[in-house]
Structure 1
Amino acid sequence: MIAIILIGSAIFLIYSGIKSNHEITLSKSVPISSYYTNIYYITLFNINKTILFDNRTTIIANSMFYILTKNFTVTAIINSTANSINGTYTVNESIKTDYWSKSLGSSEGVLKKEMTIFIPNFNYYEKLINITDKQLQIQTGGYTIILNISFNGIMSYPYGNIPVNANNSILIYIGYPNITVNVVNDPKISGNFYKQVYVNLESGYNYAYFYFGGFLLLLGIAAVFIRLPSIYDVIRRQSVRGPSPPSSNMLIEINNLEDFLRVVKQYGKVPIAFDNGFYIIDNDVVYVYYNKKSN
């Protein structure tokens, strides 16, 4: 009976394991296009003619001799894969020396392919420094113009719009011997457009069903071939050989082996085996089981 239950349970678990592999539908994001925008800067110096630069009057560079520089412009250039970019930019300008700093105001403009975002006002800077030096009784050498720039807009693509929110800074040192323009990180905006697709996949087998089912199957097979000793064998092994039950004692007949084994354990007696069965004696009472009455 136990073997049947074990094997039946094993078959059910293995069947459940087979059924555990079923088709499922998953949502997946798939890239369909990309977007990219990079804003970089070019500094164009207007200089006096010199043999050093083959008498050219304009030079694109990040640094130039102060003595040669008439003026310069900083231009922001947008390199983008967008169909169009709309928005504005803001430049907050300040000046900083070794002793003091001051905000110089802000300016705004419209986003486009090329934007002249800064032209220095040397006369204003020098006048401001001279006045401040007199008031503070100090001597200022070189100074730094700090440009904090923010870009805000929308990039338009066939698959949707992407916001542009970028910030960076430009540090311009003006003094002897050089004017140096240092851009602190060029803004970059990049990524992908995605669409949702649905993919049919198999969930895979739940192998726990197979493992446990196989274990129960092995137990069931073992139960078929490995037989536990019967109650008769248990009593026979515990018994000693002796004569038939004495007829002079009170005799109580027990009809099945289970009850006889229970009585044996209850009184703690060693069964006595005789030709027709087993018996025990307790206080002149004989408890006997006859083989002819066993099933």
Structure 2
Amino acid sequence: MRWYINIMLWVSTGLILVAVSFSEVCGQDFNPAETINEAREAGIEVSMLNELSNRAEQNNLPDQTLVTILRSATELARNGLPYKQVFNKSYEGFAKGISPDRIESNVLTIQERTIRAADMIDSWLAENRDLPVQTASHTEFRNELTVAISKVNENSASASAAKTILHSLSNRSLPPNVGLPELATAISTLSQMTSVTPPWQADKIVIRALRSGLSVEKLQQLPSLIHHPLIQNGLPSEARITTIPGHLSGDFPFQSFPWNMNRGFPQPNPPKGTPL
């Protein structure tokens, strides 16, 4: 009997040691404090790390999820890529009350799209070193476009339209006064536009809008206009390319959309009136 007891004690002790070792490994793998230090060393702003920590505590976020967010942002920062969108996606998840598992999945998806977008932009920039776009620095230009492209990478049609816009910039078909904010905003609207209109049409609308010199505020209105029932149900496909940018630029300040759509295309001198 004594030998049986000794064996049982030995087995129990071994299981306890294994359990302790396992918990130590897991604790090390998901150690927020250590991961925050790594993020700080990678160049992530301390204020952003503090805000993330505070929000994680307020939302009772598991350590594993917090570490996943931090590691995704840190990996991007280490490679000189924009990382703020990782934090923003996390905060969006907190606000919507989605599960920690889904927050982790969304964050990892954002990281993957950012890396793919950066590869695309880097290849394009290597072929277009002398760009006519007004911007503060090469890094700023690259990072802003990377974020914009990452927003459309989930949709292959949107990504194709984005490439067409970049090609238009390459061959100097856009005016030299187009700035980085306008270009990035225009590209980021594509994912919302291609859900209701073909990509070839979306890129033509955006390019015409950029050529018209529309402001960032006006460019942000493109998706809401193209989703409008009057446009979806009544305006001929080809007419959208000229009418939507024309309406925003004031070239066609028509009194009402039905009046204009009955004629198919915007008239040269329609009566002035309230915008849509």
Please tell me the TM-score bracket, short chain as reference: under 0.3
The structure having more radius of gyration, on CA atoms, is: 1
Instruction: Say which structure, 1 or 2, has more relative contact order (CA 8 Å, 6+ apart).
Output: 1
Whose helix proportion is higher, 1 or 2? 2
Whose strand proportion is higher, 1 or 2? 1
TM-score under structure 1 normalisation?
A: 0.16
TM-score under structure 2 normalisation?
A: 0.17
